[in-house]
Amino acid sequence: MREVKSENSWYYEVSKCAPQQALRDLERAFKNFLTIPKCGFPVFKKKGKKDSFYLEGSIHILRGNYIKLPRIGIVKTYEILPSVPVKNVRISKRAGDWYISFKYDECQPKPLTKKRTIIGVDVGINALATCSDGTTYGNVKAYKQAKKRLSRYQRRVQKKEPGSKNRAKAVKKLAKTHKKVADIRVDALHKLTTWLAKNHSTIVIEDLNVSGMLKNHKLASAIADCGFYEFKRQLTYKCECYESQLVIAPRFYPSSQICSRCGHQQKMPLHERTYNCANCGFQADRDFNAAVNLENYVNK
Ligand SMILES: [Zn+2]
């Protein structure tokens, strides 16, 4: 550490917490690499990509949207901050904007009386989620529009001369749009998972084989957009928070092939959007039928 300090004068300009936390992050990265299968070897950070640093010490929130940080001083924030004690913060930069994040204890929300006991959720291809109570969460429209813009800006970047100021401008615009797309997706997913965890005592989802599905090119975009892993992660912690139970039906449970009325099982190629039961004549939307089967999975 002493060597680094003597060679790099900038070391004295920053809080000592930033490099200390970087070392802790590195330690965790190595631990993950050694203990979690499929977790890759730690890679170097690159300036300009996922820029962030950590601060701790005397941090105070002043008058709602001002926060006092060690070394940096008073910073005004866009959002009103909760007046709580803060131990440490992480500051990050995304698409040219700075963000501050910190943890604080909130008094546990009381478990609410649930609107419905069991709900089955089919996540997927045409809609973000189809639920067994008939609710559907479509893929957000704004997202589609932003995506169109994304490819337009992408083309614009390619037309500009490398290293030019105009290219830098175009890159910034592209980054902002990327961020917007990501934000829309995150927001939709959060709304869905909160609604599920808050209002239902048992939520049944399917264990999707995401990597297997990504190989199917037609499905790739939709699944990648919805982020099944993130969906599961959010549901898991929110269910804990609202004292609900999350049930994950195994991968081989044929939720889309079973008739949710009579239990008959038949092949359902992906292009078939309606379930027509060959046994009892039951007709339903493919995803809705699957959601009801997931709900029934618990009752069996
Ligand atoms: Zn049937």
| Spatial contact of 292 and 282, defined as CB atoms under 8 Å apart | no
Give the Å distance between the CA of 276 and the centre of ligand 1: 8
Q: What residues are annotated to the active site?
A: 122, 206, 287
Give the Å distance between the CA of 265 and the centre of ligand 1: 8
What's phi and psi for 46, nearest 5 deg?
-120, 135
Give the Å distance between the CA of 157 and the centre of ligand 1: 54
Share of the chain above pLDDT 70, in %: 87
Give the Å distance between the CA of 255 and the centre of ligand 1: 13
In this predicted structure, what is the pLDDT of residue 277? 95
Overall pTM surpassing 0.75 (yes/no):
no
On the 0-12 / 13-18 / 19+ scale of CB atoms within 10 A, 131 is buried
Average pLDDT over residues 186-190: 84
Of 67 and 144, which is predicted with more confidence? Answer: 67
Give the Å distance between the CA of 239 and the centre of ligand 1: 33
Going from N- to C-terminal start, the domains of the chain cover: 2-101, 116-299
Distance CA 223, CA 127 (A): 10
pLDDT digits over 233-244, tens only? 899 999 998 899
pLDDT at 260 over 70: yes
pLDDT digits over 65-100, tens only? 899 988 888 999 998 888 888 888 999 988 888 999
